[in-house]
Amino acid sequence: MPSLALSDTASFRALQHHSTQTKDRQLRRLFSQDPTRFSSFSLEAAGLFLDYSKNILDHTTLQLLADLARECGIETQREAMFCGEKINSTEQRAVLHTALRAPRNQALHIGEQNVSADVHAVLDHMNAFTKRVRDGEWKGYTGKAITDIVNIGIGGSDLGPKMVCHALRSYAHPRLTMHFVSNVDGHDMDAVLSTTPPDTTLFIVVSKTFTTLETLLNAQSARAWFLQQGTEDDLAQHFVAVSTNTEAVKTFGIDPANMFPFWDWVGGRYSVWSAVGLAAALSIGFEHFSDFLAGAHAMDEHFRHASLESNMPVLLGLIGVWNRNFLGCSSLSIAAYHQDLSKFPAYLQQLEMESNGKRVMREGAAIDIETCPVIWGDCGTNGQHAYFQLLHQGTDIIPIDFIAALKPSHHLPGHHAALLANCFAQSEAFMRGKTADEVRADLQKTGVSNDAIENMVPHKTFPGNRPSNTILMDSLTPAALGALIALYEHKTFVQGIVWNVNSFDQWGVELGKVLARTIQSELIAESRPENHDSSTNGLIARAKAATVLHF
């Protein structure tokens, strides 16, 4: 682990030198010079295929990046994570989401805890519970089977299960409608409660800490709504909890027998593999949930054992470092060419930005280089008709991760070829661009005047040389999704090690939470607020004047 500033390490300097020497490289030329570029710069692991040949790099770049990873101690840190060392240094916690998807016979102890026994005891409980709900044995208070499941949680207690349910909706149980309420904005809960029948709705209150304001308020509102129809005695059939905080769950009024625990060594944004994934297990069934875990485990095994040079998460992470720190790219766009992955970019936003959106090193000193880029995106082909213009011809270079499945899970003729054609065409267009001469030649065929041609040439020219990765899976199965998420988790880990940040804390979300508590009490108080800046005072006063009856 470097205690030096990263920019002072030998490998970082070597990369800087290499980047200045190669700064004019053009992807078009790299492809025409080397017909084997695709096979040289692609690999398969855990059922996923990664083509990284459309990045502005060569074998030397990759070797220097691997040197950087080694100098940063990636191999030691990786093993420390898998073995349960307390690598989350500011919270003194182990980081063991990989243990949540390890097979039963893969023993792991940390301190007094038999991790693998505890993990599998909860999985067994989830298995039994999901079976009862899905088979209709678990009844609501009028004796009817559950029809609606409402997951109440936010951040990692929402984004993971919501994304997985959506991604695997072709596996969903036909009787169960899944709902997700995260926002403290009452419109979110209100919209769900206006459609769900109280006697056949099951609420899963998911919160690692069970102190999160949004989740507790939403859970209280759901409870009050339920008690308009059912009784206190009926609550046990309609409310279950997922948390690390048994006492708070009891205080809230949920029977601990209906609580699915997890542990402080599971970070919120890494928790979908734990009981936090209960909504997903209910929707797709426990066997498919087990396949999902197995897919992630396959990626774990690859990440843990493959050499850095042929390691998919390491390569994805290091290419991101190359784009961020040496090519100056400040954001990464995720283009999922699969409608069922529409919630994947939002999931990755929390995973990467909450993990690596940091400005100090693990030892506390300021970092002297850029860290996590902004992660954003949407589904292909929708993005093509919205923001791809900027990606093709804007002034910033924004790398793109294309993600697609080779086989669809629908039977509509014609759609999938059109989808994949667009995915591959976009990555080709970003790489090749279109030169002024090519534009001229095209326009000349239309018979317009030379003056008109010259006026149009700058507008129709594409610079190209835009880096991209393409990740392919055979089809979007539970196992493939598990491997895909684990790929990005480990990519995030790799980048965190290189940038020397603690990827497993999130102190940056605290300040706003504290200020909101103060402002909330001021909004309902009689007096005018005076302790803020004039803007904040003014906004509070305006809200008090307008909405006093609703607070």
Residues acting as catalytic residues: 354, 385, 513
Site for ligand F6P in 354-373 (CB under 6 A): 354
Of residues 134 and 208, the one with the C-beta less far from ligand F6P: 208
If binding is defined by CB under 6 A, does position 154 make contact with ligand F6P?
A: yes
If binding is defined by CB under 6 A, does position 72 make contact with ligand F6P?
A: no
Q: What does the alpha-carbon distance between residue 428 and residue 426 come to, in Å, rounded to a whole number?
A: 5
Q: Give 260-263 contacts, CB < 8 A, sequence gap 24+.
A: 260/122, 260/125, 260/126, 260/129, 261/122, 262/122, 262/208, 263/96, 263/113, 263/118
Q: What does the alpha-carbon distance between residue 244 and residue 240 come to, in Å, rounded to a whole number?
A: 13
Residues whose CB falls within 8 Å of the CB of residue 119, separated by 6 or more in sequence, listed in order: 99, 100, 102, 274
Of residues 354 and 522, the one with the C-beta less far from ligand F6P: 354
Q: Could you tell me the smallest distance in angstroms from the CB atom of residue 388 to ligand F6P?
A: 31
Q: Could you tell me the smallest distance in angstroms from the CB atom of residue 44 to ligand F6P?
A: 32
Q: Could you tell me the smallest distance in angstroms from the CB atom of residue 513 to ligand F6P?
A: 7
Of residues 212 and 323, the one with the C-beta less far from ligand F6P: 212
Site stretch for ligand F6P (CB under 6 A), options 7-15, 208-216, 286-294, 482-490: 208-216
Of residues 319 and 485, the one with the C-beta less far from ligand F6P: 485
Q: Could you tell me the smallest distance in angstroms from the CB atom of residue 269 to ligand F6P?
A: 6
Contacts with ligand F6P by CB under 6 A: the residue count is 14
Of residues 10 and 515, the one with the C-beta less far from ligand F6P: 515
Q: Could you tell me the smallest distance in angstroms from the CB atom of residue 54 to ligand F6P?
A: 33
Site for ligand F6P in 235-264 (CB under 6 A): none
The residues pairing with 181 across neighbouring beta strands, listed in sequence order, are: 152
Secondary structure letter of residue 409 according to DSSP: S
Work out which of 269, 338, 343, 490 binds ligand F6P, going by CB under 6 A. 269
Q: Could you tell me the smallest distance in angstroms from the CB atom of residue 486 to ligand F6P?
A: 18
Of residues 30 and 346, the one with the C-beta less far from ligand F6P: 346
If binding is defined by CB under 6 A, does position 277 make contact with ligand F6P?
A: no
Of residues 154 and 298, the one with the C-beta less far from ligand F6P: 154
The one-letter code for the residue type at 204 is I
Q: What does the alpha-carbon distance between residue 335 and residue 344 come to, in Å, rounded to a whole number?
A: 9
Residues whose CB falls within 8 Å of the CB of residue 470, separated by 6 or more in sequence, listed in order: 50, 51, 54, 401, 402, 403, 404, 423, 424, 427
Site stretch for ligand F6P (CB under 6 A), options 17-25, 153-161, 292-300, 534-542: 153-161
Question: At how many degrees (to 10) do helices 478-499 and 286-305 cross?
Answer: 40
If binding is defined by CB under 6 A, does position 509 make contact with ligand F6P?
A: yes
Residues whose CB falls within 8 Å of the CB of residue 28, separated by 6 or more in sequence, listed in order: 431, 432, 433, 464, 465
Please report which residue ranges of 110-245 form alpha helices under DSSP H: 115-135, 159-167, 186-193, 213-227, 235-238
The residues pairing with 243 across neighbouring beta strands, listed in sequence order, are: 261
The one-letter code for the residue type at 334 is I
Site for ligand F6P in 440-499 (CB under 6 A): none
Q: What does the alpha-carbon distance between residue 41 and residue 31 come to, in Å, rounded to a whole number?
A: 11
Cis (ω within 30 of 0) for the bond into 477?
no
Work out whether strand 400-405 and strand 468-473 pair parallel, antiparallel, or are unpaired.
parallel
Work out which of 9, 77, 201, 212 binds ligand F6P, going by CB under 6 A. 212
Work out which of 207, 290, 311, 339 binds ligand F6P, going by CB under 6 A. 207
Of residues 269 and 302, the one with the C-beta less far from ligand F6P: 269
Work out which of 268, 377, 383, 408 binds ligand F6P, going by CB under 6 A. 268
If binding is defined by CB under 6 A, does position 215 make contact with ligand F6P?
A: yes
Q: Could you tell me the smallest distance in angstroms from the CB atom of residue 157 to ligand F6P?
A: 4
Q: What does the alpha-carbon distance between residue 329 and residue 55 come to, in Å, rounded to a whole number?
A: 12
If binding is defined by CB under 6 A, does position 209 make contact with ligand F6P?
A: yes
Q: Can you spell out the DSSP letters for 459-514?
A: HH-B-----EEEEEESS--HHHHHHHHHHHHHHHHHHHHHHT--TT--GGGHHHHH
If binding is defined by CB under 6 A, does position 156 make contact with ligand F6P?
A: yes
Q: Could you tell me the smallest distance in angstroms from the CB atom of residue 242 to ligand F6P?
A: 9
Give the footprint of ligand F6P on this chain (CB under 6 A).
154-157, 207-209, 212, 215, 268-269, 354, 506, 509
